[in-house]
Amino acid sequence: MLHKLLTVTSKPERIGIGIMSGTSVDGVDVAIVSVRGSGEELTYRQLAFDTVDIPQALRQQIFKQFNPEESSVDKLCSLNVEIGQLFSTAARTVVEKAGLRIEDIDFIGSHGQTIYHIPVDQHDTGLVKSTMQIGEASVLAEVFQCPVVSDFRVRDMAAGGEGAPLVPYVDHLLFRSDTENIALQNIGGIGNVTYLPKGGTTSDVIAFDTGPGNMIMDEAMNILTQGKSLFDKNGELAAEGTVHHGILKEWMDHPYFTLPVPKSTGRELFGAAFTRKLVDRMLEMGLSKADILATVTMFTAITIADQTKQFLPGEIDTLVVSGGGAYNATLLRFLMELGGFAVKTQEDLGFSSESKEAVAFAILANETLFGVPNNLPTATGAARQVVLGKLTV
């Protein structure tokens, strides 16, 4: 396998797979890319992309591990391998659908499934800054017989960072502009923004988590439909409702929104327990389902507009939205009403909103194989640039 690693890095063009399962746990994203070069000289082509469903029983088990009161070490141990097997099956499926062979794959970058993320030391509980992503990379390495880079976040945390966000390094490589200030807003379970000032270098990039993305909207839909619908397709129900601005002002008092950047967050702050309180409160106030969805959708839009206004040093010329939120027409409309800037999607630029993060982890893995530092201290708070990930060969 070490011989294969040397062979892979000597190739002028490499075929890699990026695998991503986000905080929403709504599917395994698999992107297949062809990559040339590394660092500022890197170019890539997307060869294939698909999202493979996560079986509902497995999804329920994963959600139990998010809750310290339900998590168990034996199930966590087992899930690490089960998710590795799921990733392997998903990757093999996409490879075959693309008309490729397992032997064609030169490397894999797997983000894993985040189980818990503690971005800063918690002195009141004694918990130290740490993060856990599972999905055993050895399973992927055995199935594909190629180098696998995984567990990207912990090296940044060891260097003093929060381990997130990591995609801004790739954003800089692919989207930097000499003529525009670009903000790239990913709206997955959590929202995160990357700011690329025109003509800037990696040291000028600013990135951080803006707060909830789809997470609260999805959980609210789950609660209101008693599990029959897991998300508000295209924001259709929210479009029928009326936003309750009074309660939004209360929600914006959450301490996360005044924390300085760089910062990151997750399900630990804005997950099911948080959403249940919001929904129960609105039901007590007599809000309809549509009004509740409209209000939580506006909450995501307002947090994005507020956080970019507070913490970005310059005006935004264009906000480019990716992730599942890019397909929520009501959310995009709210953003356009609030922002005062052009709102585009990845598709408007010839890219894919769905595949962006999976592509990013393939590119991050490529950089790791070449020993190129691939975190951005301005985004994560790390003391220095480091090479991310653990290599399984």
Q: What is the mean pLDDT of residues 194-214?
A: 95
Among 109, 166, 155, residue whose Cα is nearest residue 378: 166
pLDDT at 352: 85
H/E stretch holding 132: strand 130-134
Q: How far is 115 from 235, CA to CA, in rounded Å?
A: 27
pLDDT in tens, 37-61: 999 999 999 999 999 999 999 999 9
pLDDT in tens, 128-146: 999 999 999 999 999 999 9
Q: Is the pLDDT of residue 282 over 90?
A: yes
Q: Is the pLDDT of residue 1 over 70?
A: no
Report the amino acid identity of residue 294.
A
Give the model's confidence band at 16: pLDDT under 50 very low, under 70 low, under 90 confident, else very high. Answer: very high
- Looking at the chain, the whole-number percentage of residues with pLDDT higher than 90 is 91
Domains of the chain (ranges, CATH numbers): 2-158+358-376+387-392 (3.30.420.40), 168-349 (3.30.420.40)
pLDDT at 35: 98
Q: Is the pLDDT of residue 100 over 80?
A: yes
H/E stretch holding 151: none
Q: What is the DSSP letter of 55?
A: P
Q: How far is 48 from 40, CA to CA, in rounded Å?
A: 24
Q: Chain-wide mean pLDDT for the chain?
A: 95
pLDDT at 350: 82
Q: What angle do CA 292, 295, 296 make, to 5 degrees?
A: 90
pTM: 0.87
Among 364, 370, 357, residue whose Cα is nearest residue 388: 364
Give the model's confidence band at 351: pLDDT under 50 very low, under 70 low, under 90 confident, else very high. Answer: confident
pLDDT in tens, 153-169: 999 999 999 999 999 99
Q: How far is 65 from 334, CA to CA, in rounded Å?
A: 34
Q: What is the mean pLDDT of residues 61-79?
A: 95
Coil vs helix vs strand at 160: coil
Count of beta carbons in the 10 Å neighbourhood of residue 306: 15
Q: How far is 86 from 82, CA to CA, in rounded Å?
A: 6
Give the model's confidence band at 4: pLDDT under 50 very low, under 70 low, under 90 confident, else very high. Answer: confident
Q: Is the pLDDT of residue 3 over 80?
A: no
Coil vs helix vs strand at 100: coil
Q: Is the pLDDT of residue 26 over 90?
A: no
